[in-house]
Structure 1
Amino acid sequence: MNLPTPIRTYFTARAPQDAQAFAAAFAPDAVVHDEGGRHHGPEEIRAWWQAAEERYRHSAEPLEATEAAGKTVVRARVSGDFPGSPAILTFTFGLARDRITDLEIG
């Protein structure tokens, strides 16, 4: 599957060694919506990501990617230490200038 570079970084980064590369994939004003929370800016997003990695010890395998309403929508199998694992989740990415501008996980 041919994913844009910042989305590929999102799915291949490993905590904690890839934290800087992960944060760099996001625009300065990027926003992530996940589990009812809102995380703003690369550093807050990096902290959210590292906490989720520690809590759930999860991995996500992209299954398919489509374009809809100017966004890249990736369905991925997410496995980890959480009820219902593995689960198929939808990651809806907004992109601009080779950076993630927004992400909604559902």
Structure 2
Amino acid sequence: MTLELPSPIAAYVAANARLDLDGMLSPFSREAVLFADGGRHEGYAGMRALFEEAVIPVKAIFTPDTIRHEDGQVVVEGPAHGDFRGSPIRFTYRFDLDGDLIKTLEITA
């Protein structure tokens, strides 16, 4: 089954599958905020640092298997596989979109 993901989310997921750091950042607005690992990561610099520390080194690839719309957000769930303890771990990604850009993303396990 292929999920019908909004284009900025599809671009992020595809770039993550390639572990393409710049591609992962490109669907976000410059002022975007990412909430993950108990922290708030603001803008490209904050998100880049998180991806460089927590995604790329452990080859964490998120594979969405469900999507729903809830309270104005796009909620995508699925496992992330990689070279990290407990892999795979199921995650929930909550996206707020602004047109063709991601303005916020909250990632929870």
TM-score normalised by L of structure 2: 0.86
The one-letter code of the counterpart of 2:30 is P
In structure 2, the residue corresponding to 1:67 is in which secondary structure?
strand
Identity percentage of aligned residues? 36
Structure 1 portions without partners, runs of 5+: none
In structure 2, the residue corresponding to 1:50 is in which secondary structure?
helix
- RMSD, aligned CA: 1.4
Structure 2 counterpart of 1:30, from 29, 32, 52: 32
Residues 75 and 94, structure 2, Cα contact 8 Å, conserved in 1: yes
TM-score normalised by L of structure 1: 0.88
Number of matched residues?
104
User: Is 2:40 the partner of 1:59?
Assistant: no
96-105 or 40-49: bigger deviation: 40-49
The one-letter code of the counterpart of 1:90 is T
Structure 2 portions without partners, runs of 5+: none
29-38 or 19-28: bigger deviation: 19-28
Residues 13 and 24, structure 2, Cα contact 8 Å, conserved in 1: no
- Structure 2 distance, partners of 1:64, 1:90, is 10
What's 2:81 paired with?
79
- Structure 1 distance, partners of 2:70, 2:100, is 18
The one-letter code of the counterpart of 2:83 is D
Residues 13 and 63, structure 2, Cα contact 8 Å, conserved in 1: yes
Residues 73 and 94, structure 2, Cα contact 8 Å, conserved in 1: yes
Structure 1 counterpart of 2:103, from 95, 101, 104: 101
The one-letter code of the counterpart of 2:13 is F
Question: How far apart are residue 93 of structure 1 and its match?
Answer: 0.4
Question: How far apart are residue 46 of structure 1 and its match?
Answer: 2.5
- Structure 2 distance, partners of 1:22, 1:43, is 13
User: Is 2:8 the partner of 1:6?
Assistant: yes
